[in-house]
Amino acid sequence: MNKIITISRQYGSGGREIGQKIAEHYGIPFYDNELITRAAKESGFAEETFARAEEKATNSLLYSLAMGINVYGNQDFGFGGLSLDDRIFLAQSDVIRKVAEEGPCVIVGRCADYVLKERDDVCNLFIHAAMSFRIDRAVKVYGVDEKSAADTVIKNDKRRANYYNYHVGEKWNNLNNYDIVVRSDFQGIDRAVAAICAYIGD
């Protein structure tokens, strides 16, 4: 197997777990928070600034307006007119490209499909699931309060959709953006992993 695997996923769908299982199956690196940490260290930005970036995107217009208050003068990046969040995205993108150069791996989130679109050895996945499954998982796996779980799921999905739309300029839920899309709750997470591995091959 000589592929870079990117995963986009609805909140609570088990996309991260599926990514870990695929990485284990192939014995390849898995990048998620590790990626953020690495990017933060290499670029000199504080880690929490990176962690906050994805969560901050509310919608593409509001986001653009809010980000209009640009941070100028950081010549390390050479993009004087870009917002702080755009710079973080570019720094993250650099890291994604670097780890992809190192060989096969699994990268979750952060529009890695878009960042690596010039490569022809990338397999882009999307994982989704029924709302009830995701609410249940938010409570049981992430410890989200039961009363606010539905809200948390909806808000996180909206943020991810807006983040994708803002950076990629495409609809997050458009199936044409992905090579394989799997609904994790219908047949279960292990079968989702089996389907993806059958698709990718040895």
Residues that bind a second copy (CB under 8 A): 123, 126, 128, 173-176, 178-183, 186-187, 191-192, 194-201
All residues at 6 or more sequence positions from 163 whose CB lies less than 8 Å from its CB, including other chains: 54, 57, 111
Residue closer to a second copy by CB (options 115, 123) is 123
Residue closer to a second copy by CB (options 5, 36) is 5
Check: CB of residue 125 under 8 Å from CB of residue 5.
yes
Residue closer to a second copy by CB (options 45, 172) is 172
Query: Which secondary-structure segment (H or E) carries 35?
Result: helix 33-43
Query: Which secondary-structure segment (H or E) carries 41?
Result: helix 33-43
Give CA–CA dist 138/135, Å, rounded. 5
Distance of alpha carbon 155 from the chain centroid = 16
Residue closer to a second copy by CB (options 143, 201) is 201
DSSP label of 82: S
Report in angstroms how near the CB of residue 171 gets to a second copy at its nearest.
8
Residue closer to a second copy by CB (options 142, 199) is 199
Token pair 């394989």: residue: 180
Residue closer to a second copy by CB (options 90, 130) is 130
Report in angstroms how near the CB of residue 148 gets to a second copy at its nearest.
23
Q: Are strands 30-31 and 122-128 parallel, antiparallel or unpaired?
A: unpaired
Check: CB of residue 113 under 8 Å from CB of residue 122.
yes
Q: Which amino acid is at 81?
A: G
How many other CB atoms are found less than 10 A from the CB of residue 180?
A: 17
